[in-house]
Amino acid sequence: MSDTTPNLIATGISKRFGNTQALDDVSVSFLPGEVHALMGENGAGKSTLGKVLAGLHAQNTGTVLLNGRELIPGSLDDAFHAGVRIVHQELAQCPNLSVAENLCLHDIPTKGITVNFAEMERRAKTLVHQLDPSIDVSKPLGFLSPGRRQICQIAASLDKNPDGSMIAKVIVLDEPTSSLSISEASVLMDIARDLASQGLSIIYVSHRMSEIFTCCDRVTILRDGKFVATNIVSEIDEPTLVEQMIGRRIETPTAKANGSKQSIETQALKAEIGTADHTPVSHSGDPRLVIRNVSSPGKLDDCSLDLYPGEVLGIGGLVGAGRSELFDAIFNIDTRAKGSVKVDGDEILGKGIRGAIDAGVGLGYVPEDRRIQGLFFNLGIDENIIAPIMNRMASSIGIRDRAAELETVRRRIGRFQIKTASLSQTTPGELSGGNQQKLLIARWMTQHTKVLLLDEPTRGIDVGTKAEIYKLIREAADSGLSILLVSSEMPELLALSDRILVMGDGQIKGELTGNEMTQTKILTLATQEKAHALI
Amino acid sequence: MTTAKHAPKTSSTKPPFIKRLMAHQESGLVLVIILIALGLTLFGAVNPVETKTAIERPAGSQVILLDAQGNAHENGTIARTKIATFRVQSGDSNTDYPAETIKNYDSTTDTLYKLTTLNPFLNKSNLVLVTKDASFFAIIAVGMTGVIILAGIDLSVGSIYGLSAIIGAMALQALPADTGWIVAVPVALIVCMTVGTLCGLANGSMSVGLGVHPFVITLGMMAILRGLTVVIPQEFYGTQSIGGFPTSFTTGFFKAEFYGVYPVPVIIMILCGIVGWFVLAKTVFGRRVFAIGGNEVAAKYAGIPVGRVKILVYTITGALCGLSACAYLGYYGAAETNAGNAYELQVIAATVIGGASLMGGRGTVIGAVLGAIIIQLINNTLIIFEVDTSYNQIVMGAAIIIAVVIDQTKQRIQARKA
């Protein structure tokens, strides 16, 4: 912190969406040269505050002052030119256009009536190469890794005045690492620190505790749209922050008792979902799922594993390590995969998706992106749940049995406590993210399912629902289901898994059991050999 | 025992009947149809069409012209305005017609013509005519609804219809003229629908198997099949039209008369509508069509056989083109090489007016049938108002855009409420 005069001051900000009071009289100020975190549970209002500051939302009351000048509420244009920039997930990006075109979309340089591609690439290079000189700006944006796409977005805010000074004074990073792997995230945090050292204010919206302690100077906690506290990071500890966020203190009695090196967060999670005293499933019987030498060109390299009944086998690794690709191969979505996948001794590889979910085999797959790969937004909750087995419940010529369908749906909704107004009238778009995710897991809770593949089952949902889902996963496993769990949330992976496999470069790098299961061990394995997984 | 009757009504969570009815996607279409029909009926009542029909009278009867005083006159010896009564005398019995109900008396053919005023819209033959004209492409629109829900498109339907009609006509022409309908109808149905099914199968399997957008495949098929439709009769018969079918097939079946109208194509349309609705709403196949149209990737991950469902939908659409072509052959008694020209646009228009979204995931068969009827009602309106038929296209085009804009506005309002 080089300066003590704030350059961005928000006073008395309130924002209401329909019946929801997203922000309630929040006042915060930001200093030049600091990375200032906004933290809180989902729905606490941290993202909304970031968007109000950047002019994406107009606040109902309150003012935002940038170096003494009041910004026009809800004017992205005003904030943009004054120097408040925002980088967020939903920001328009055209994956089919080149990096250069994406960066210059607002002002495409021309030569006569044609686009001046040379000038465009020159401009893009000056922006991007401040952060990562290895990015080829002529490549389509869609070809880049998520981390580099994020870097390109940040680079778009680094345009300069003719005198060489940065136009941007404040950059809001809205959940910048939520889709990034750990090593990508650490690169991004370095960038945030670096930009702050050049005198910018970086507003860092995040819910990842570890990131706050790694790269932030101060942290403001919001709860239910209200301001709780602004803390100096070096003077505060994790339990206090959690207490501020959730309004109560999480007791972690087992943390020291069992002498493991697990983090407080994991211990707390285990205590909450009741797995603190869980003993790993024994491997005495026959494994349920046997995978041998599965390879797929460019994606997987000789993967083998065994999964036992009732076991949760966690798969850790960085984004791009081949975890989702492994699931796609097991589920026969990747038709080029070679090797052997057996469920209870029956070979299923190459038998198509129908072969994988066949009643006798019993595979289920909850894919990573619920909006793109999971939900039917034009259909009701009932049909979303029943989709894979609708044919099994129907008559031989395919006429549906509505009564049986509704009974099944009701039972699963009850078990998963999915909050929905109606079974067939409500569509998934009207559900919260947590309920959407529960719906997708419920989809595979058939009596025939033996093996469940879960890919990031709690991405982007609130803490309360996460705990519910953890309990449901654990219950399902305890009742005999075998579960493969891919997760980038370390505490989740550590708290739920009986064993953990770590993947990297399409290979299985190693297996961790018992007390070896720690964040450090996973990271060490994941980053083995190829330290620059970001490339 | 009246307690049960007076028991307080349990508060139902369902909204009132009218509200539920209005929430239906088709309610707007029915409303439009009712409004157009009402308007045309009123206009027709103000401007009725006068027609004359011959009065049937017993053989050997005589027409006697009486003046106001009851004196009989010879035809030609009394002015028309002086005639008070036309008397039909048959032996001892007389039937009197007041002069104002009689259009004229044609003495050369000895026929007495009755004056009838007719509402040009609201009469059974016009109503059946309108729905009959709609039925040929409404039948295809039933299949097209499935295609559009899949977020696909089929531009070749008009050409499939034409080719099925030509091949079916060739088969029918080869039958002896006195073939009974029990043979002629199944033969025609099998030939036409086989041709249609094969074309649809080709559309579906090429677009799925080659991974090419159905727009491209069906655009190509549209040209290829239309070419075959023109070339085949040229090569084999040297003509542009094939006719001469067994009468049992035409007036004996597809143009059979009931109560003075020819309703068979309309009945086929209604049956197709009901079956289509049932398949889309009540069968696993139908719901899979919606699932794929809503989110194809998710459908794949949910284990839905995406390719198979798609191919089947295109195949069914082809088969329905064949069915429609068969009805066309029976109704008109001949196949022209330009049969079904530009039908694809009418069919797509009907489905879109019926509430189907070209983005996929949404649409109803009943809506498509109603959409087809609306298109024909608009045509009928122009005829009744005696507007030149060249204006048809302009009005039709505007109707499509208006219908879609209204539908989308409705969607947006509903979304905002939710």
Amino acid present at B383 = I
> Are B92 and B186 found together in one domain?
no
How confident is the model over A175-230, as pLDDT tens digits? Answer: 887 667 777 788 888 889 999 998 899 999 886 777 888 889 999 999 888 999 99
Q: B284 and A375: CB-CB below 8 Å?
A: no
Would you call A377 an interface residue with chain B, using a CB distance cutoff of 8 Å? yes
Residues of A in contact with B302 (CB under 8 A): 387-388, 443
The alpha-carbon gap from A222 to the nearest alpha carbon of chain B, in Å, equals 28
Number of folded domains in chain B?
Answer: 2
Q: A377 and B294: CB-CB below 8 Å?
A: yes
Q: What is the pLDDT of residue A263?
A: 64
Kindly give the pairing relationship between strand A482-486 and strand A312-317.
parallel
Q: A333 and B287: CB-CB below 8 Å?
A: no
Tell me what the pLDDT averaged over chain B comes to: 87
Sign of dihedral through CA atoms A144, A149, A155, A156?
positive
Chain A interface mutation, best of B150, B295, B296, B316, highest count of A Cβ atoms under 10 Å? B295
Q: Which of A466-480, B65-79, B392-406 reaches the highest mean pLDDT? A: A466-480
Of A512, A532, A514, A531, the closest CA to residue A522 belongs to: A512
CB B99 within 8 A of CB B85: yes
The helix (run of H) or strand (run of E) holding residue B65 is strand B62-67
> Are B100 and B138 found together in one domain?
no
CB B319 within 8 A of CB B197: yes
Does B93 map to a domain? yes
Tell me what the pLDDT averaged over chain A comes to: 84
> Are B248 and B393 found together in one domain?
yes
Would you call A445 an interface residue with chain B, using a CB distance cutoff of 8 Å? no
Angle subtended at Cα A139 by Cα A135 and Cα A142, rounded to the nearest 5 degrees: 95
DSSP helix/strand/coil, A113: coil
Task: Say how far apart CA B53 and CA A532 lie, in whole Å.
Answer: 94
Last residue of a domain, one of B117, B139, B167: B117
Residue, of B296 and A17, whose pLDDT is higher: B296
The verdict on ipTM greater than 0.85 is: no
Q: A391 and B284: CB-CB below 8 Å?
A: yes
Residue A511 has pLDDT above 50, yes or no: yes
Lowest mean pLDDT among A343-347, B89-93, B208-212, B247-251: B89-93
Does B28 map to a domain? no
> Are B319 and B334 found together in one domain?
yes
Give the other-Cβ count within 10 Å of A65's Cβ: 15
Residue B11 has pLDDT above 60, yes or no: no
The alpha-carbon gap from B230 to the nearest alpha carbon of chain A, in Å, equals 40
Confidence tier at B158 by pLDDT (50, 70, 90) = very high
Residues of A in contact with B283 (CB under 8 A): 394, 398-400
Residues of B in contact with A400 (CB under 8 A): 282-284, 287
CB A386 within 8 A of CB A398: no
Lowest mean pLDDT among A263-267, B25-29, B304-308: A263-267
Would you call A373 an interface residue with chain B, using a CB distance cutoff of 8 Å? yes
Confidence tier at B8 by pLDDT (50, 70, 90) = very low
Does B207 map to a domain? yes
Confidence tier at A1 by pLDDT (50, 70, 90) = very low
Residues of B in contact with A365 (CB under 8 A): 301
Backbone phi and psi for residue A192, each to the nearest 5 degrees, phi listed first: -60, -45
> Are B136 and B275 found together in one domain?
yes
Q: What is the pLDDT of residue A186?
A: 84
> Are B156 and B303 found together in one domain?
yes
How confident is the model over B312-329, as pLDDT tens digits? Answer: 999 999 999 999 999 999
Q: For A505, left (φ over 0), alpha (ψ -120 to 50), or beta?
A: left
Which CATH number belongs to the domain containing residue B374 in this structure?
1.10.3470
Task: Say how far apart CA A314 and CA A294 lie, in whole Å.
Answer: 18
Q: What is the pLDDT of residue B115?
A: 76
Q: What is the pLDDT of residue B9?
A: 42
Q: What is the pLDDT of residue A238?
A: 78
Confidence tier at A384 by pLDDT (50, 70, 90) = very high
Does B255 map to a domain? yes
Q: What is the pLDDT of residue B160?
A: 97
Q: What is the pLDDT of residue B3?
A: 42
Lowest mean pLDDT among A83-97, A163-177, A248-262, B397-411: A248-262
Would you call A423 an interface residue with chain B, using a CB distance cutoff of 8 Å? no
Would you call A17 an interface residue with chain B, using a CB distance cutoff of 8 Å? no
Task: Say how far apart CA A525 and CA A509 lie, in whole Å.
Answer: 6
Closest-CA residue in chain B for A378? B294
Q: A400 and B288: CB-CB below 8 Å?
A: no
Chain A interface mutation, best of B287, B292, B312, B359, highest count of A Cβ atoms under 10 Å? B287
CB A275 within 8 A of CB A495: yes
Q: What is the pLDDT of residue B379?
A: 86
Would you call A375 an interface residue with chain B, using a CB distance cutoff of 8 Å? yes
Residues of A in contact with B362 (CB under 8 A): 378
The alpha-carbon gap from B32 to the nearest alpha carbon of chain A, in Å, equals 25
Residues of B in contact with A361 (CB under 8 A): none
Confidence tier at A248 by pLDDT (50, 70, 90) = low
Task: Say how far apart CA A316 and CA A522 lie, in whole Å.
Answer: 7
Residue, of A349 and B78, whose pLDDT is higher: A349
Q: A376 and B291: CB-CB below 8 Å?
A: yes
Residues of A in contact with B282 (CB under 8 A): 399-400
Give the other-Cβ count within 10 Å of A103's Cβ: 26
Would you call A353 an interface residue with chain B, using a CB distance cutoff of 8 Å? yes
- Chain B positions touching chain A (beta carbons under 8 Å): 282-285, 287-288, 290-291, 293-295, 297-305, 361-362, 418
Sign of dihedral through CA atoms A369, A373, A375, A377?
positive
Please enumerate in sequence order all residues whose Cβ is within 8 A of that of B53, keeping only pairs 6 or more positions apart, or say none: B113, B114, B116
Amino acid present at B362 = R
Residue, of B378 and A268, whose pLDDT is higher: B378
Task: Say how far apart CA A380 and CA B290 lie, in whole Å.
Answer: 11
Lowest mean pLDDT among A445-459, A519-533, B220-234: A519-533
Residue, of A447 and A441, whose pLDDT is higher: A441
Residue B2 has pLDDT above 50, yes or no: no
Does B3 map to a domain? no
The two three-digit tokens of residue B392, written as one number? 């048809």
The alpha-carbon gap from A249 to the nearest alpha carbon of chain B, in Å, equals 37
Residues of A in contact with B284 (CB under 8 A): 390-391, 394, 398-400
DSSP helix/strand/coil, B177: coil
Would you call A443 an interface residue with chain B, using a CB distance cutoff of 8 Å? yes
Q: A377 and B291: CB-CB below 8 Å?
A: no
Q: What is the pLDDT of residue A366?
A: 94
- Average pLDDT value for residue range A347-376: 89
CB nearest A377 (choices: B295, B297, B300): B295
Last residue of a domain, one of B117, B132, B161: B117
Q: Which of A87-91, B50-54, B87-91, B155-159 reaches the highest mean pLDDT? A: B155-159
Residues of A in contact with B297 (CB under 8 A): 372-373
CB B50 within 8 A of CB B391: no
> Are B108 and B234 found together in one domain?
no
Closest-CA residue in chain B for A453? B301
Last residue of a domain, one of B75, B90, B117: B117
Residue, of A261 and A523, whose pLDDT is higher: A523
Task: Say how far apart CA A45 and CA A23 lie, in whole Å.
Answer: 6
How confident is the model over B162-206, as pLDDT tens digits? Answer: 999 999 999 999 999 888 889 999 999 999 999 999 999 999 999
The alpha-carbon gap from A390 to the nearest alpha carbon of chain B, in Å, equals 6
Residue A255 has pLDDT above 50, yes or no: no
Confidence tier at A262 by pLDDT (50, 70, 90) = low
Would you call A149 an interface residue with chain B, using a CB distance cutoff of 8 Å? no
- Average pLDDT value for residue range A379-405: 90
CB B303 within 8 A of CB A388: yes
- Average pLDDT value for residue range A357-373: 88
Enclosing domain of residue B191: 124-407
Q: Which residue has the tokens 């208006």?
A: B402
CB nearest B282 (choices: A333, A375, A399): A399
> Are B313 and B389 found together in one domain?
yes
How confident is the model over B101-122, as pLDDT tens digits? Answer: 777 777 777 777 877 778 888 8
Q: A353 and B300: CB-CB below 8 Å?
A: yes
Q: What is the pLDDT of residue A108?
A: 80
Residue, of B249 and B110, whose pLDDT is higher: B249
- Average pLDDT value for residue range B353-363: 89
Q: Which of A141-145, B103-107, B125-129, B288-292 reaches the highest mean pLDDT? A: B288-292
> Are B175 and B64 found together in one domain?
no
Please list the residues that pair with B72 across neighbouring strands: B66
CB B49 within 8 A of CB B117: yes
Q: Domain segments of chain A: what residues?
A: 1-83+169-249, 89-168, 366-443
How confident is the model over A299-324, as pLDDT tens digits? Answer: 888 999 999 999 999 998 876 788 99
Q: What is the pLDDT of residue B417?
A: 65
Does B20 map to a domain? no
- Average pLDDT value for residue range B351-371: 91
How confident is the model over B372-391, as pLDDT tens digits? Answer: 999 999 888 888 888 887 88
> Are B218 and B350 found together in one domain?
yes
Q: A1-83+169-249, what's its fold?
A: Rossmann fold (3.40.50)
> Are B101 and B207 found together in one domain?
no
> Are B59 and B185 found together in one domain?
no
Q: Which residue has the tokens 């120097």?
A: A83
For chain B, what percent of residues have pLDDT higher than 70? 94
Q: Which residue has the tokens 């981390």?
A: A147
Number of separate helices (H) and strands (E) present in chain B: 14, 9
Backbone phi and psi for residue A315, each to the nearest 5 degrees, phi listed first: -120, 110
Sign of dihedral through CA atoms A494, A497, A498, A502?
negative
Chain B interface mutation, best of A363, A368, A378, A427, highest count of B Cβ atoms under 10 Å? A378
Confidence tier at A360 by pLDDT (50, 70, 90) = confident
Does B417 map to a domain? no
Please, what is the end-to-end C-alpha distance for chain A in angstroms? 32
Does B308 map to a domain? yes
The alpha-carbon gap from A395 to the nearest alpha carbon of chain B, in Å, equals 9
Residue B414 has pLDDT above 80, yes or no: no
CB nearest B287 (choices: A354, A357, A383): A383
Residue A3 has pLDDT above 60, yes or no: no
Residue A250 has pLDDT above 60, yes or no: no
Q: What is the pLDDT of residue B385?
A: 85
Angle subtended at Cα A178 by Cα A175 and Cα A182, rounded to the nearest 5 degrees: 125
Task: Say how far apart CA B415 and CA B418 lie, in whole Å.
Answer: 5
